[in-house]
Structure 1
Amino acid sequence: MMQGISPLARRVLALGAGLALLSSAVHAAGSYSRVLPEKSSLAFVSQQMGVSVDGRFTRFSATLDFDLAKPEAGSATLDIELASIDAGGPEANDEVKGKNWFDVKQHPTARFVSSSVKPLGNNRYEVRGQMSIKGKTREVAAPFTLKPDGSGALLEGSFPIKRLEFGVGTGAWGDTSVVADEVQIRFKLAVAGK
């Protein structure tokens, strides 16, 4: 079929085909849609009487649609099973599951739904969206970095929330000199390509 084509034209066609394949591979490598929960983590840091207290949630699920070529079109949701909290021990866990804190019987899940993604340069981005906890919804902004990792990537970031805006830690626990209002949420999401 290529017999009537000059050697130069053949090289140009081969180069074009190679570039098209390379472009397709690069695009596919920069598109992420699956979150790998077993390689991901969701943690928080609060201050209790001036001392940092670390905790985490062990069960959560996320959906993601993120393309490095079109980051502004990205979207994400995160659902957190509040009863999966690990606040450092059985007594603390039981306390924070109760009505004064998360009230997991009435509000078993916290949810984040993105509304926009903005590139900040150098593999850094900011996702904005609505965070819902205990029936209250507030807008949050979460800066994150994206680090390619084999065929996937690691999204890592943190953002603060004000717990009292969500009704978390009421009654005696509403005293911010005992437990600070601001809580830092930290996430590491391992993601795989489409």
Structure 2
Amino acid sequence: MKPVHALVLASLFASALAGAAVLKTDPAKSSVVAVFKQMNVPVEANFKTFTARIDYDAARPEASKAAVDMVTASIDLGDAEYNREVSKKEWFNTAQFPKASFVSTSIKPAGPGKLTVAGKLTIKGRTADVNFPLTVKTESGKHLFEGQLPIRRLAFNIGEGEWKDTSMVADEVVIKFRVSAGNN
């Protein structure tokens, strides 16, 4: 390859990479919460430990990528006994499956400040294709990504044995997330 061609290719490669930027997540202003109903009463469970990697290009959202890992043992139902219960094999089986993860496969513009995200969600060793709407706005100089992902817990084998009964714990779960991230 001639040196000029190599320089042109390197320049094109560098400019393609320059569009999307890996953003630094602000954990203090970010959250991942699972909301479900137990005996028809809404319950919120916070994932205290998670990481989000977002490569975001506002000018070309379709070039963006996102990945989120949640430490399953960090789920907090507000009570130590409940937290121990959901770490057991019947629920999250945190010993065998220490994390749940989401990896985007596509991000598409859906109007001003809105995106449609598709990807693979893996919980307790089971992977499903998911998609959901996402809003993005700027707050205090950072991007704020917010969305909700409805899932069915039984599709991921969360609640085995007697806990498959959805009259006690509903099958429907909404994963709500808020991620604040910026270049600094």
TM-score category, normalised to shorter length: 0.7 to 0.9
Aligned equivalents of 2:49, 2:173: Cα separation in 1: 19
- Equivalent in 90, 100, 111 of residue 110 of structure 1: 100
How far apart, in 2, do the equivalents of 1:188 and 1:134 lie?
23
Partner of 2:44: 54
Q: Tell me the alpha carbon deviations over residues 23-45 of structure 1, each in whole angstroms, 9 at most, x when there is no partner.
A: xxxx99x9662222222111111
Within 5 Å, give how 1:130-145 maps onto structure 2. Answer: 130-145=120-135
Q: Contact between 2:22 and 2:53, CA under 8 Å: does it hold in 1? A: no
Aligned-pair identity (%): 44
Q: Which residue of 2 aligns with 1:154?
A: 144
* TM-score with structure 2 setting the length: 0.86
What are the within-5 Å matches in structure 2 for residues 61-140 of structure 1? 61-140=51-130
Pair member with larger Rg? 1
Could you tell me how far apart the structure 1 residues matched to 2:79 and 2:132 are? 28
Counterpart CA distance in 1 for 2:69 and 2:36 is 21
Residues 15-34 of structure 1 aligned to structure 2 (within 5 Å): 33-34=23-24
Q: 1:171 aligns with which of 145, 154, 161?
A: 161
Unaligned 5+ runs, structure 2: 1-17
Q: Which runs of 5 or more structure 1 residues have no equivalent in the other structure?
A: 1-26
Task: Give, in angstroms, the shift of residue 61 of structure 1.
Answer: 0.5
TM-score normalized by structure 1? 0.82
Aligned residues: 167
SS in 1 for 2:163: helix
Q: What is the root-mean-square deviation in Å for CA atoms of aligned residues?
A: 1.7
Q: Measure, in 2, the Cα distance between the counterparts of 1:98 and 1:68.
A: 41
Give runs of ≥4 in structure 1 deviating > 6 Å. none
- 1:17 maps to none
